[in-house]
Amino acid sequence: MLCAFANFVRMPEIDRVIRSAATADAAQIAAVMRDSWRAAYDGIIAPAILDRATAPDGGARIRQSFRTRPWQRMIVAVEDGIVGYAAFGPERDVLDMPWPYPLTSAGSEHEVAELYALYVHPARWSTGIGRALMDQVLAKVRAAGYASITLWVLEANARARRFYARAGFAPDGARHELDDLGGVTEIRYRRALTACARLEP
């Protein structure tokens, strides 16, 4: 059985569903991403760059990802509409190759998975949605036979880093500058998919 979050606090029962995403969800997913980016990256990414990166597109980029990334899987959290989502799949070669990043050999061999994105609408932060999405991602990649999973997080995003640490992830030393976002630095986190002992006590 895959371990869930350390120090898990049971949340009140909520009418919430975690399900696979579909192209029909694209506009709502894009809205969650836009609002969460603006809340999470305020003061980290320059306002003009943030405005450009979150410009409304009606979900066009999300729909395109369904067409161009057949290896990607996406799940959504639904309450009164979509309130969070996560995208994941095989590990990509972020360090050595330009965008769009190809898969690493470990990703292609289904040895190392990657969490590409996990966002929750800021109005629903600290309600257990992120935890529920993360638990589903970890369960799915472990069931698919992956031995470990990585993710990239902005170095200055302390809130997200605390969240990932509680989910059993830790920095592995890799760093990458995002030139298209003003040169902010992201760092790679990694965790095994086998033991509870790696989770924070």
Amino acid making up residue 114: E
In this prediction, residue 151 carries a pLDDT of: 98
Q: Predicted confidence band at 3 (pLDDT cuts at 50, 70, 90)?
A: low
Lowest mean pLDDT among 150-154, 167-171, 186-190, 196-200: 196-200
For the chain, give the percent of residues with pLDDT over 90: 85
Q: What total of structural domains would you count in the chain?
A: 1
Please check whether residue 48 lies inside any domain of the structure.
yes
Q: Predicted confidence band at 59 (pLDDT cuts at 50, 70, 90)?
A: very high
pLDDT at 13 over 60: no
pLDDT at 39 over 90: yes
Please check whether residue 4 lies inside any domain of the structure.
no
- Which is higher by pLDDT, 184 or 7? 184
In this prediction, residue 100 carries a pLDDT of: 86
Assessment of whether the complete model's pTM goes beyond 0.75: yes
Cα separation, 44 vs 163, whole angstroms: 17
What residues make up the domain containing 21? 17-198
SS3 of 18-64: EEECCHHHHHHHHHHHHHHHHHHCECCECHHHHHHHCCCCCCHHHHH
Which residue in this structure is represented by tokens 């069931």?
143
Sheet architecture: strand order including 148-154: 17-20, 73-79, 81-90, 112-120, 148-154, 184-192, 170-178
CATH for 46: 3.40.630.30
Q: Which of 53, 93, 86, 57 is nearest to 72 (CA)?
A: 86
Please check whether residue 189 lies inside any domain of the structure.
yes
Please check whether residue 28 lies inside any domain of the structure.
yes
